[in-house]
Chain A
Amino acid sequence: EIVLTQSPLSLAVTPGESASISCRSSQSLLHTNGYTYLDWYLQKPGKSPQLLIYLVSSRASGVPDRFSGSGSGTDFTLKIDRVQADDVGVYYCMQPMQSPPFGQGTRLEI
């Protein structure tokens, strides 16, 4: 199985500052087809998780460019610039290659 380990598990940020979340995989997420299957989701309070970033660094439709993803192989980072109050929730990295498909989550508070 693939284990995704996120850090930190919680993060308190002042509005306007930046935040970074790390996701480390126990195995490479680089597929033989050349794609790296690592996505980021945000679960806002009381809601279902919503897609933010897919294939490491591509923003989903409607996601502000304050959100960016980077990384390769086993190490990945989600960066949020100019954090806003609406960004609060739990951020998860996810991968579809093996189960379990997600990390423990990182709680972002303002």
Chain B
Amino acid sequence: EVRLAQSGAEVKQPGSTVKLSCSTSGYVFTDFYLYWVRQAPGEGLEWVGLIDPENGESFTAERFRGRVIITADTSADTAYMELSGLTFEDSARYFCALIAGVRGTWGQGTQVTVSS
């Protein structure tokens, strides 16, 4: 069974950096891209970026470029997303997701709250 387990909730101050993790199991980590998606309260899904764990190459949505770093640790089958320069508008639930046909699975999400 494919599982994506995400790190716990974070409360951060404006201007700071948050690093989220996504621990995977049940499939070959390097076989599929892993996506990061966020969802503000009452809003739809917003794509943040993705990583190809096989080679470590990442792609970030234009609005997040320069603020997001996505990495993968193949020894731990875990992906990370670091978001810097936090503003109140970054308060949202952040998901990691495997969008891969029959294996399609999403993590439970990590709530990030930006508060002064």
Binding site for B on A (CB under 8 A): 37, 39, 41, 43, 48-51, 54-55, 58, 60, 90, 92, 94-96, 99-102, 104-105
In the assembled complex, the CB of A3 is this many whole angstroms from the nearest CB of chain B, namely: 12
Interface residues in B69-116 by Cβ distance below 8 A to A read 95, 97, 99-102, 104-109
Distance in angstroms between the alpha carbons of A104 and B99 in the assembled complex: 16
Out of B59, B102, B104, B105, name the residue touching A99 (CB < 8 Å): B59
Whether A101 contacts B99 by the Cβ 8 Å rule is yes
In the complex, what residues of B have CB within 8 A of residue A101's CB?
35, 47, 50, 99
Residues of B at the A interface (CB closer than 8 Å) are 32-33, 35, 37, 44-45, 47, 50, 59, 61, 95, 97, 99-102, 104-109
Could you tell me the distance between the alpha carbons of A40 and B107 in the complex, rounded to whole angstroms? Answer: 17
Nearest Cβ distance between residue B44 and chain A, in whole angstroms?
Answer: 5
Q: Which residue of chain A is the closest to B1 with respect to CB atoms? A: A61
Instruction: With CB as the reference atom, state the residue of chain A lying closest to B98.
Output: A96
CA distance A38 to B79 in the complex (A): 24
**How far, in Å, is A108 (CB) from chain B's closest CB?**
14
Known: A49-B97, A55-B102. 16 other contacts (CB 8 A): A48-B95, A48-B108, A48-B109, A49-B106, A50-B106, A90-B44, A96-B32, A96-B99, A96-B101, A99-B50, A99-B59, A99-B61, A102-B37, A102-B47, A102-B99, A104-B44
